[in-house]
């Protein structure tokens, strides 16, 4: 089958956008299966796998700007920031731009920017439990994860575990990283982790951001 990426719309359906907004308001997180067009996932997956093979990825770190540290004991993925280089990237970013408008319209969040990177977790890699943003520091407001690997096996591991915002010992969801699945959550509130994967695991992690300077201190985008 030829990926239909050039012709079909990548946007989330209106029904998905409504369900997503409701879930964010009610519980702080949303997960949907079959949300991202599979032809688009296939094109994005090929792009990140090609980079993984030809050394086109950077080791992921923790912290931003000058506090950036490489810590394989905390996270083991390799990344590439989306740069609009391919049609597939531009279609994904267009879908996120529409989602941004829907979120701003429904929730008055004042989101003004979106940053995202491909992630490739080799077998054995994981990402320990964390928050994507700390109140008063960075300005990531809403996190998104789009999964790209087709036919994820039931014993493949690599699930993203979502924990309760008020009780981080309570697991509330386990997300299988299957192509088409899309997750979205409040960056400051929802603890989450990636369990060790047994298969190469590909995704796009992204963040809607608010104003980049806080008290005169510029918050670096990455």
* DSSP conformational letter for 142: E
User: Distance (Å, rounded) from C-alpha 178 to C-alpha 158?
Assistant: 10
Q: In what order do the strands lie in the sheet with 167-175?
A: 127-130, 192-194, 160-164, 167-175
Kindly report the number of other CB atoms within 10 A of residue 155's CB atom. 7
Given the complex with Mn ion, which of 51 and 192 has the nearer CB atom? 192
Nearer to Mn ion, 5 or 116 (CB): 116
Q: Kindly state the smallest distance separating residue 211's Cβ from Mn ion, in Å.
A: 21
Q: Does 57 bind ligand OGA (CB under 6 A)?
A: no
User: Out of ligand OGA, Mn ion, none, which partner does residue 204 contact, by CB within 5 to 8 A per kind?
Assistant: none
- Tell the smallest beta-carbon distance from residue 216 to ligand OGA (Å): 27
What value, to the nearest 5°, has the Cα angle with vertex 94 and ends 135 and 102? Answer: 55
Q: Which is nearer to ligand OGA, 111 or 184 (CB)?
A: 184
Q: Which residue, 5 or 205, is less far from ligand OGA as judged by CB?
A: 205
Considering only residues 102 through 141, tell me which ones interact with ligand OGA, judged by CB under 6 A: 119, 127, 132
Which CA distances in Å does 122 have to 25, 62, 193, 198, 212? 34, 18, 16, 8, 32
Report the site for ligand OGA in 136-175 (rule: CB under 6 A).
145, 160
Supply the minimum distance, in Å, between the C-beta of residue 115 and Mn ion.
13
CB of 116 to Mn ion, least distance (A): 12
- For residue 194, state whether it binds ligand OGA (rule: CB under 6 A): yes
- Distance, in Å, from the CA atom of 40 to the CA atom of 148, rounded to the nearest integer, reads 9
Nearest residue to 165 (alpha-carbon basis) of 145, 146, 185: 185
Task: Round to whole Å and give the CA distance between 161 and 192.
Answer: 5
| Among the residue ranges 20-28, 39-47, 128-136, 173-181, the one whose residues contact Mn ion (CB under 5 A) | 128-136
Binding site for Mn ion (CB under 5 A): 132
Binding site for ligand OGA (CB under 6 A): 119, 127, 132, 145, 160, 192, 194, 203, 205
């Amino acid at each position: 089958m030829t990926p239909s990426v050039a012709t079909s719309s990548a946007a989330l359906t209106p029904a998905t956008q409504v369900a997503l907004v409701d879930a964010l308001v009610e519980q702080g997180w949303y997960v949907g299966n079959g949300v991202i067009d599979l032809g688009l996932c296939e094109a994005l997956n090929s792009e990140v796998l090609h980079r993984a093979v030809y050394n086109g990825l950077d080791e992921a770190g923790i912290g931003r700007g000058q506090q950036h540290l490489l810590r394989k004991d905390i996270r083991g993925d390799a990344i590439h920031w989306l740069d609009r280089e391919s049609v597939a990237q531009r279609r994904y970013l267009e879908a996120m731009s529409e989602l941004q408008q829907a979120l701003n319209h429904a929730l008055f969040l004042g989101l003004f920017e979106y940053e995202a990177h491909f992630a490739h977790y080799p077998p054995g890699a994981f990402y320990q439990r964390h928050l994507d943003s700390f109140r008063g520091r960075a300005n990531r407001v809403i996190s998104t994860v789009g999964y790209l690997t087709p036919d994820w096996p039931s014993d493949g591991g690599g699930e993203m575990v979502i924990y309760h915002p008020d009780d981080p010992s309570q697991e509330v969801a386990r997300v299988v990283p299957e192509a088409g699945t899309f997750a979205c959550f409040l960056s400051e509130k929802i603890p989450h982790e990636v369990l060790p994967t047994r298969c190469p695991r590909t995704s796009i992690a992204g963040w809607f951001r608010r104003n980049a300077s806080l008290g005169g201190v510029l918050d670096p985008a990455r």
